[in-house]
Each structure stands twice: as C-alpha cells, then as structure tokens.
Amino acid sequence: MDSVQTTVERHRSSVRKWVRNRFGKWVNRRIPPAREVTLDQRRIFIFPSRTGLFFGCSLLVMLVAAINFENNLSYALTFLLATLFVVATLHTYANLSGLTIRAVRAQAAFPGQQSEFLVMVERSKQRDHYALYLKWPGSSEAMVNLVDEDSVKVQLHMPVDKRGWFHPGRLLVESTYPLGLLRCWTWIDLDLYALVYPRPLSSAELPGLATDTPDGAAAMVMGNDDFYGFRDYRKGDSLRQAHWKGFAKGQALQTKQYTAYADRSVWLDWELFAGMGVEQRLSHLCYWVLAFDERREEYGLRLPGVTIAPAVGEKHREQVLKELALFGIGDKSR
C-alpha cells in the first residue's frame, strides 16, 4: 500500500516536473532573455484572479436574487457588474501592456548578503500605470506606480550564496489594477547578473608578505595620517607641528609626530596560501583585499593568469574582487 502510494507520488512529481520543464521551455521560447523587454500580447497572460472568482460567485448570488425576486433592476445591476468584469479585462491588460522593463544593474555582494537588483520600468505612452508588482522568486517585492514619471527605478533585494555570477531567475511583473478582478502577469528573463564575491575568511597574519621593498616589512615613515608621539623640537621642524600647548605649560617645545604607511605595494599572491583549497585561497585573498582597502594602502593581485598592478581606490578594489569572484568561472555561465 505504502509503496504503491510512493510510486504514485513519484510518478506525480515526475509528471509535475515534466510539465514545469515543458512550461519553462515554452516560456523561454515565448519570452527569451533580454536586456530590456517591452510587454506586448505575446508576453502577457491574463486570467481572473482569486478575487475575480469570488466576484463571479457574488454575481451568481445576485443573479439568483434577481431571478427569485423577478426584479429587473437587480438583473440590470448584475449584468452591469458582469460586463464591468469584461471591460476590466481590457483595462487590466492595458495597465501592463506597453511597459518596458529594463535591467539596470545588479550590485555585487558577498555570499549571505542581499544583492540589490535594479530594474527600470518605463512607459511608452503617457498613460498612467498603477500597482505594478515586481518580484523575483525569493526576492523582496515592490509595488510601483507610473503616474507622474515616465520611468521608475525599482530595487529588489535577494540573498546570494555562491561565488560567481548570480542570476535571479525570471522576474514576475504583475498587476490586478484597476479592479483586482483579473490578474495580468508575465515572467520575464532579464539579462541581469549579480557578481558574488568569495566569502572573506580572515587569517591572522599575511604569510610571507610579498612587497616591493626587499626587507618585506611594513615600513613606517613619517607622515600626517595618525598621531604617533612627540620628540624634541629640532631646528627646521615645522612650527605648525610644534606642540604649543605643552610649551605654554612650561614644557620644552616638542614636535608632534605623525605616521603614515609608506607608499608600498603589497602583492596579494595566489601562492601565499599554497596548500589550501581554491575556495579557501580566494576567501583569504578576499579578506586581505578588504583589509588593505580599508587602510587605503596599495595592493596588487596575482592569480594564475591574472595580474593586477598595485593601486588603491574603489575601482581598483572592485576590479580585484571581480577577478577573485570569477576565478575559474567562465563569463556569465551558471
């Protein structure tokens, strides 16, 4: 008995999978992935919503009341609402039709974080669009109007996990405006990928720090980044760095000393973490990229087949992280 049930269950689930597969293929054919998608009749599906079915039931009750009371105005009102349902089909459809959904960008993120996906909804005609509902499976949801603006940016957040390119799947664009009786929707595949960096993994010390300076130490030179200490005032020292407050208290004139890390170039090298797995190496490198970036120190990256010269700054960091994220992964393959 039990086994029969599981067989049936398995059979059913395989049928469901087959149906879903077929549907997926069909949708793919009908709505191929693109950078921007303009919604037209090939893409828009429309069907009475749950509310619409409930409304239909209410209409049936009204019709029965009209018949039983032989009340012509009740008939009239029932028919008016029934045809309102029909007219609403067109309005609901029009609310979605002609919209252009454009993939803007996806924010890079670390595993476990939420990546921000930015899409733009544009209208082609000056018609007001209301209550456009957008959501990826598993993402946050958004409800937007297009009334005073011609386009609106929509931010959707979605957790990402694996290093590499993350594709959020098909975006659901849905509307039940104006009456909620009909649900008009489409699934669009946007050519939008979020970059997922390796998970940063701290290591206490950067083993065998590879720098340009021969001794390899993190040389400290006098600069003005951080207050470091005092030393006696010597002739030639800047008056502006003199410790006047101490002098006023009767101490000997002293000079304030500041430190800064010297212009040095750290190479974050694949070989620094020899003996570890690929992902672990990347994670450690990632951690150090962030560490150096925070200190605004220059760093370069050496991976097998990739070399990025030492530099500092946001763009540099992104470039380095991107290389780490995509190491060993073909471009935009999943």
Partner 1 sequence: MQVQGLVDGAVKEVGNILLGKEPQIRLALCCLFARGHLLLEDLPGMGKTTLSHALASVLGLSWKRVQFTSDLLPADILGVSVFDSNDASFTFHPGPIFTQLLLADEINRTTPRTQSALLEAMAEGQVTVEGETRPLPQPFFVIATQNPVHQSGTYPLPESQLDRFLMRLELGYPHPQAERQMFERRHSGAMEISNPRQCIDMEQLEMIRIAVSKVHASENLLDYLQRLVAHTRQSPEFEVGLSPRGALALLDCAKTWAAMHNRGHVVPEDLQAVLPAVAAHRLVPSGDYAGDGDALVDLLRREVDVIGR
Partner 2 sequence: MNVQQQVPRNALMWIIISLFALVAPHVSRLPVWVLAVYVVAVVWRLQVHRGRWSFPGRWVKVAMTVSGFIGIYASYGTLVGLEPTVALLLTAFALKFIELSQRKDAYVLLFLGYFICITEFLFSQDLLITLYSVLNVLLVTTALVALHQPGQNQFNRGTIRLAGVMLLQAVPLMLVLFFVFPRFGPLWTVPLKSHTAKTGMSDFMKPGDVASLSQSADVAFRVKFDGEIPEKSSLYWRGLVFSRLEQDVWSGLGYYDVPLSEQRPEPVATSGRPLRYTVIMESTQQNWLYGLHYAEARSAGVLQSSDYRMVSPAPLETEYMYRVQSWTDVPVELELSDWRRRTETKLPPQGNPRTRKLARDMRAQAGSDELFVQQVLDKFNLEEYVYTLRPGALSGSNRIDQFLLETRRGFCEHYASAFVFMMRAAGVPARVVAGYQGGEVNPLNRTVIVHQFDAHAWAEVWLENQGWVRVDPTSAVSPLRIQMGLEEAMASEGSFLAAAPLSPLRYRGIPLLNQLRLRYDALTYRWQSWVVGFDSEQQFDLLHSMFGEISTRIFATLLLGSWALVLVPVAISLFMKRDTHPGSPLDKYYRMFCERMAGLGLVRVPGETPGQFAQRTMAELPAFGEQLQHITGLYNTLAYAGEMDKAGLAQFARAVKRFKPNRRRALVEEDNTI
| Residue whose token pair is 């990256």 | 301
Sign of CA dihedral 161, 186, 100, 132: negative
Number of residues assigned to the chain: 334
Check residue 46 for interaction with partner 2 (CB under 8 A).
no
If contact means CB under 5 to 8 A according to the sort of partner, which of partner 2, partner 1, none does residue 128 touch? partner 2
164/63 Cα distance (integer angstroms): 59
Residue 114 binding partner per list partner 1, partner 2, none, with a CB distance cut-off of 5 to 8 Å that depends on partner kind:
none
The DSSP secondary-structure symbol of 109 reads B
- Residue 197 and residue 110 in contact, taking contact as beta carbons nearer than 8 Å: yes
Alpha-carbon distance of 86 to 94, in angstroms, equals 13
Residue 16 or 153 having the CB closest to partner 1: 153
Given a contact cutoff of 8 angstroms between Cβ atoms, the answer to whether 106 and 118 are in contact is: yes
| Using rule CB under 8 A, residue 86 touches partner 2 | yes
| Residues engaged in binding partner 1 (CB under 8 A) | 102-105, 120, 126, 149-153, 222-225, 238-242, 244-245, 247-248, 260, 263, 265, 296, 298, 310-311, 313
- List the single partner that 298 binds among partner 1, partner 2, none, CB under 5 to 8 Å by kind: partner 1
Order across the sheet with 36-38: list the strands: 36-38, 99-106, 114-123, 151-159
Nearer to partner 2, 67 or 309 (CB): 67
Instruction: Please state the closest distance from residue 83 (CB atom) to partner 2, in A.
Output: 4
Q: Which of 48, 91, 185, 260 binds partner 2 (CB under 8 A)?
A: 91
Q: How many residues bind partner 2 (CB under 8 A)?
A: 51
CA angle at 244 for the pair 239 and 248, rounded to the nearest 5°:
140
- Interacting residue with partner 2 among 19, 90, 217, 329 (CB under 8 A): 90
Shortest reach from residue 113's CB to partner 2, in Å: 22
Q: Which does 178 bind (CB under 5 to 8 A by kind): partner 2, partner 1, none?
A: partner 2
Among 10, 20, 25, 127, binds partner 2 (CB under 8 A): 127
Q: From the list 3, 5, 70, 214, which residue makes contact with partner 2 (rule: CB under 8 A)?
A: 70
The minimum distance between CB 29 and partner 1, in angstroms, equals: 27
- In the complex with partner 1, which residue's Cβ is closer, 226 or 271? 226
DSSP characters over 318-330: HHHHHHHHTTT--
Closer by beta carbon to partner 2, 68 or else 333: 68
Which of 170-178, 234-242, 292-300, 310-318 is the region at the interface with partner 2 (rule: CB under 8 A)?
170-178
**Burial degree of 7 (CB within 10 A; 0-12, 13-18, 19+):** exposed
The site partner of 260 among partner 1, partner 2, none (C-beta below 5 to 8 Å per kind) is: partner 1
187 CB-side CA count, 13 A: 13
The listed partner (partner 1, partner 2, none) that binds 241, CB under 5 to 8 Å by sort, is partner 1
Burial of residue 14, with CB atoms counted within 10 A of its CB: 0-12 exposed, 13-18 middle, 19 or more buried: exposed
What x/- string results for residues 179 through 198 when contact with partner 2 is judged by CB under 8 A?
xx------------------
**Closest to partner 1 by CB, 123 or 284:** 123
Q: Cα–Cα distance between 286 and 309 in angstroms, integer?
A: 16
CA distance 296 to 179: 56
Q: Does 270 bind partner 2 (CB under 8 A)?
A: no
Give the span between the Cα atoms of 100 and 257, in whole angstroms: 60
Cα separation, 37 vs 207, in Å, equals 50
Cα(135)–Cα(47) distance, integer angstroms: 19
Contact 176, 51 (CB under 8 A): yes
Applying CB under 8 A, the residues found at the interface with partner 2 are 51, 54-55, 58, 61-62, 64-84, 86-88, 90-91, 94, 97-98, 125-128, 130-131, 133, 141-143, 145, 176-180
